[in-house]
Structure 1
Amino acid sequence: MRIVLLGAPGSGKGTQAQRLQAKYGVPQVSSGDLLRDAVARGTELGLKAKAVMEAGQLVSDDIVLGLIRDRLARPDAANGFILDGFPRNEDQANSLNALLKDIGQPIDAVLLLDVRRETLMQRLAGRRTCPKCGTVYNVHSLNGATTCPREGAELFQRPDDKEEVIGRRLEVYEKQTQPLIDYYAKLGLLRTIAGEGELDSVFERMEAAALAKPLPPSSVKVSTAKVPRNKVVVKAARKPAKKTKKVAVRTAKAKSARKPAPKAKRVKAAPKTAKRAKVAKKRPAKKAARKK
């Protein structure tokens, strides 16, 4: 199971990824988590990323790809992985494909959680986080409660979960991700899953899409080449030939119908023969008269 997850903020892809991870034992690889972990452990790539972030700049793709390479080299990723948060554009997708090809772990599928914008707004604007355990809740499912059921701490709303910020986040996502959706669709890897409904129902759809095996490109070529070109040419050549024969027969019939019948010629010749016979009979009669 080597998959990439796509989905707008609030689509629930993180929750579903954790479920897939728990059931199939493949790690969820989040670019954000990798950066935070590398910085916390003080690795070489982590120190580079920290310097870039402290300078107020975006971490380069090379650093993120290096972190992904290191993460996928661990034993728990031998049977697959779930990439979340990367790639975000076509250039990153091309770089990721090159990396995965180099390590012999190409992508099996790209899962897109499709959720309506109204639902996304409701989910994100209603999110509340526990400051102690970090659990995320939604006010629509808390029945008016404002504290964490586990810790009893007062829940708070993150700044990026406010409506005005959410609108900008969704616009950025749509602008950046739509080309990526088209990119993977052309490769035949994209599988769109309805992301609304009960969590269990969404997970069942995610699981089915993740496990479905794509049709290898080689088999597609074979199936389209079942009818060789030379056979097509032969069929195309035979059809006109049959039509030509039919036309020739019809033309011959038409010509024969236009020509006068041979019997008509013989009938015309019959009177001439009769006249000659009469003339022949009369000649001897004339000679006999002369002798007399």
Structure 2
Amino acid sequence: PVTGDWVALDAGGSVAAVLERRGAVVRRAPGTPTSPQVLAANVELALVVEPLPEPNLGRIGRLVALALAGGVPATLVLTKADLTDEDADGVAAKLARSVGVAAGVAVSAVQGDGLAVLSTMLMPGTTAVLLGPSGAGKSTLVNALLGAERQSTGPVRSADSRGRHTTVVRELIRLADGALLIDTPGIREAGLWDGMGDVYADVEALAANCRFADCTHAREPGCAVRGAVDPARVAAWHKLKREETWIEDRRAAARKREAAGESIARRQRAARRLAPHANDW
């Protein structure tokens, strides 16, 4: 079982079965192209957490893709709004639109800005999961929502503004209003597993109208994407498309090897059955 799973217990209190999951965030397991890792199960909302003042659009897109591919709606949460001179809410709304997410909210756990808005998204009886890198302020956000210093927090490195792992396990936390929140360790690798979901659905729709089926959206005439979509967003889409193709090829090769191995094993078993025994006279 993973965090968020519902399980059936036997008479002795041991896990007898894991119930069917509805809404799971799954990434490619680090270090292997052919194994998945479930980050959270039975989730109704993924809160993609990214810190200001320099949010990473590529990372946001990846985490949103993981959520949408698992059937989990996503909301962008920009933390540390007190560290930017820009209109943090405006930045959140713009970035959310750029990755195909309907809602984006900027929060400051220090000043309390945006927490009330975020709280309205966490409905009693539902489960949300926090997804983001180390140092994004996930645990600080949990403490602010709880109104208590429950989760350990730590400073980011001044040299590169990257955080250290303070949350080392996934934990299901009950908020005062009955909403459930899964706090997770910082995500360093967010490899695709079940595709990109609808994070680039708008780009895909435009690409279908290009004059050439193999349009690269760079110089070809009749391109419906170039000029209509931010070049950075197109580049991010291309990158994830290449990764999606790569992982599908690796998984197909693994399935082929597995099928070949099973075929060889069957032939070997058949040969052993047909072979004469040493004590046959």
Larger CA Rg, structure 1 vs 2: 1
| TM-score (norm: length of structure 1) | 0.28
Higher relative contact order, structure no. (Cα contacts within 8 Å, ≥ 6 residues apart): 1
From the two aligned structures, give the one with the greater helix fraction: 1
From the two aligned structures, give the one with the greater strand fraction: 2
